[in-house]
Structure 1
Amino acid sequence: MFMAYFSLSGCDDAGSDANSSDASDHLVVYCAHDSIYSEEILNRFTKETGIDIDIRFDTEATKSLGLVQSIIAEAEHPRCDVFWNNEILGTLDLAERGLLHAYQSPNADRIPAKFKSTDSTWTGFGGRLRLYIINTNKMEASPESVEEALTGDLSQMAVAKPLYGTTLTQYALMWSEMGGDAVKEWYQQRTKQGWKIVQGNAVVKNLVASGVCEFGWTDTDDYFLAVDDKQPVAMLPIRTEGGQTICIPNTVAIVKGTEQESASQQLVDFLLSPEIELALANSRSRQVPLGTVDETKLPEQVKQLQEWAAEGVPLEGLLKARNECLDWLKEEFLQ
C-alpha cells in the first residue's frame, strides 16, 4: 500500500534554546491526522526544539489502519518512535499487543480520565464528535425530525462504510451496548429501509451538503468544511443507547522499542499542551480541546462542541467489541 513520507528539518538557531535536544535527535512519527493540519504542528515542534522529524502519513483509503498494521509488522524492529493517531481503536489494539511504551506526560494531567489510558500508554487530545449532518433545505434540524425520518424510507440518508475510522468506532460502541445480535438485526433493518452506504465521511458530507441526501452520519471536521463552504447544513450529536455523545480523540503514544525516548517524550508533551489543542480548535477541522485551555481563544462553534464532548462515552474498553464487530463487518463487506 502507498504511504507518504515527509521530512521536517529544524531551524539553524533552534539548538540554542535551553530546552533543545542534541542535534543527533531524530524522530520517526507515524501520523494519521490529516497532513494539512498536522504537518504545520509538527514543523512547529521542530522549529522550537531542533528535533528533526520524518512523518509517515496514512492514506484516505486505509485510514489509520495501515499505520497500525505497519507498527504491528515492525514490532521486532520498530521504525516508528511516536504514533499520532486520529482515532482510538487502533491505539487500543497496539496497547493490547504490548507495543506501546508507558509515559506519564505532565501535560496529561489536564486531560480527563476518560480520554487517556489507565496505564499511561496513550493519551487523547483534540476530539471529534460523531453527528448527524442535516440539509436544512430538506428537513428540520431537530431530534424529532431525525427520529421520524429514521422510521421510514432511508434512501435520503447517507452513512460511511463502517470498516474503519470513526464509523467503526460508532459500530463498536453499539456492539458493546446492544450486543452483536441486536446490532446485526438493526443493520439489516436499516438496509431494508434503503440507506446509502458510501466510501467515507467526506462523501456523506458532500451528498448532504449538495442536497442529494437529506441527512447522514459524519464527523465534526467534515461538517465544518461544509459550513465554511456556506452550505445549508446543521448538526446534531449522535447519542448512544445510554444518551451519551461519541467524542473520538486524537491519541498520541510512544512506540515500544524506540531509541529516542527523550525526544519522543518531548513530542508527546508538546502535542498534549494547551497551545496545540487551541491550534487544532482554530483550524478548519475545529477539533475540540479535551483539557483546560484559554476559553477566550476558542471559536464560538467549538465552545458549543465542548459541552457535547464533556458528555462523551468512555472508549478505553471497546477493543473486544471492536474486534467482534469488525469480524462480522468483514463478512458483510469483503466477501
Structure 2
Amino acid sequence: MKKETLLMIIGAAIVLALVWLGFKKAGVEESLPPPHLLLATDMPPTCVEPVAKAFGKRSGIEVRVQSPGESNGTKPDLYWLESPLTALHLAEKGVLARYEAPGCRKVPPLFKDLEKRWCGVSAAGRVFFVDRNATEPPASVLEPGRAPGGWCVAKTLEGTGLLMGALALRLGTERALAAMKGWYDEGAMLTKSDEEAIAAVTLGHADWALVGSDAAGRAMQKGAEGRIVWPDQKDGGIGTLLVPTVVALAEGGAHPAAAKAFYAFLLSQEGQKLLAGAPCFQLPLALPGEGNISIMQSGAAAAARWLLNNPAAFRDWAGY
C-alpha cells in the first residue's frame, strides 16, 4: 500500500472518530437497547411490577413480562410461577434448566425441586378469612364446622387442589377425600377464585372462606373487613399448607445472565422483603426465622405430584 493511501485512510478514521465524539458530546449518539430479560409469570401484576422495578433500578436490566402460556415465537428466559404445579408441567416438557442460585440454598428442602429445576421464593398459606362477627371461627381444615351463614372454598387446582394432595399424602387418600367431601355437609359453597370467596364473606353471604393468605392480605389492604385464621396450629395438628411461588431458569433462553440476576434478586434480602410487604403479602422462604407457623410437612411440591398422578380426584370433588 502506498504511503499516501495509508495516510488518507488514517486521516479518514481520525475524522470519523472526531465526528462520533462530537455527536456523543452533543447527546445525539444512537442509543443501544437496554439489557433485558423475558419473564413468563402468572403472578399478580400488582406484585410483579414493584419487584421488577426495584430490580431494574438496581441492575439496569429491564424485565419484560408475558404469561407462561403465551407463545409469540420468543422463548422466555425465566419463569416465576404461583405454584409448583405449573413448574412440574413445564419440567415434564423439558423447558426448565437445572440451575440453583446461591440464595436457593437458604430455602428449606420442602420448598424446592430435588433436581434443581425450580426453587421456592415465597409462600402463601391456605387460611380461613373469617367475618369479623363470626363467634366460632374454624380451627382445622379437617373439621371446619358448620357455619350458620355457610362458608366458601375456591375450586382452584393451585389452592384447594394442592390442599387435597397434601392431605392425601398426610392422612391417606381415603380419609382426605372423605374430609373434603364432608365440607359440603357443613355448608361449603364453591367459588371460582379466592377473590370471589373473600367477597362472599365481606358481602355477608358467608361466614368464612378457605383462601390464600396473600389474597386475603390484598383484600384487607383494599378495605375488606375480616381476620385471618391459620388452621391446624394446635399441638399435634397437621399444620397449615404453604404453597410456594417458584422461580425456574428456562432452557435455551436468550438472556441467561440477566435471568440469573433476577433469580438471585428474588432470593436476596431486598427481594424477600419486597415480597413480604404490600401488595404481595407473601411469606419469604429465604429469610429463616420469619414467622412462627406450624407447617404441613407433606408440602405443596409433593402434593402437585400427587395431583398429576390422580387427575380425576379433584375433578370429581369440584364437579368439573
TM-score by length of 1: 0.74
- Indicate the residue corresponding to 1:259 in structure 2: 254
Distance 2:223 2:304 in 1: 38
The answer to whether residue 37 in structure 2 is matched with residue 27 in structure 1 is: yes
The one of 107, 113, 121 aligned to 2:109: 113
Q: Report % sequence identity.
A: 19
Match of 2:82 in 1: 86
Aligned with residue 64 of structure 2, among 37, 54, 69:
54
CA contact (8 A) 1:26 1:53 kept: yes
Larger Rg: 2
CA RMSD of aligned residues (A): 3.1
Letter in 2 for 1:124: G
In 1, Cα distance between equivalents of 2:160 and 2:138: 22
- Measured after TM superposition, the shift of residue 236 of structure 1 is 1.9
Which runs of no fewer than 5 residues in structure 1 stay unpaired? 1-21, 58-66, 296-302
> Does the 8 Å CA contact 1:115/1:123 hold for their aligned counterparts?
yes
Which structure 2 residues correspond to residues 1-335 of structure 1 after superposition, within 5 A?
25-57=35-67, 67=68, 70=69, 79-141=75-137, 143=139, 150=145, 152=146, 156-162=150-156, 164-239=157-232, 243-292=238-287, 306-308=291-293, 313-331=298-316, 333=318
Structure 1 residue 148 displacement after superposition: 7.1
2-side partners of 1:288 and 1:280: how far apart?
7
Residue 44 (structure 1) shift = 2.5
**SS of 1:245's equivalent?**
coil
Bigger CA drift: 265-274 or 239-248?
239-248
- Quick one: distance in 2 between partners of 1:326 and 1:208? 30
Query: Is the 8 Å Cα contact of residues 139 and 214 (structure 1) preserved in structure 2?
Result: no
How far apart, CA to CA, are the structure 1 residues paired with 2:181 and 2:296?
29
**C-alpha displacement at 1:49, in angstroms?**
2.4
Q: Is the 8 A contact 1:141 1:234 kept in 2?
A: no
Q: Which amino acid aligns with 1:91?
A: A
Deviation of 1:159 (Å): 0.5
CA distance in 2: counterparts of 1:330 and 1:119, whole angstroms: 29
Contact 1:176 1:318 in 2 (8 A): yes
State the alpha-carbon separation in 2 of the partners of residues 125 and 24 from structure 1. 26
Query: What secondary structure is seen at the aligned counterpart in 2 of 1:268?
Result: helix
Unaligned runs of at least 5 residues, structure 2:
1-31
Contact persistence 2:81–2:87 (CA under 8 A): yes
Map of 1:63 onto structure 2: none
- In the TM superposition, residue 252 of structure 1 has moved relative to its aligned partner by 0.4
- Secondary structure of 2:257's match? helix
In structure 2, distance between residues paired with 1:26 and 1:149: 47
Q: Is contact 2:83–2:245 with CA below 8 Å preserved after alignment?
A: yes
Q: Which one-letter code corresponds to 2:163 in the other structure?
A: Q
State the aligned residue count: 287
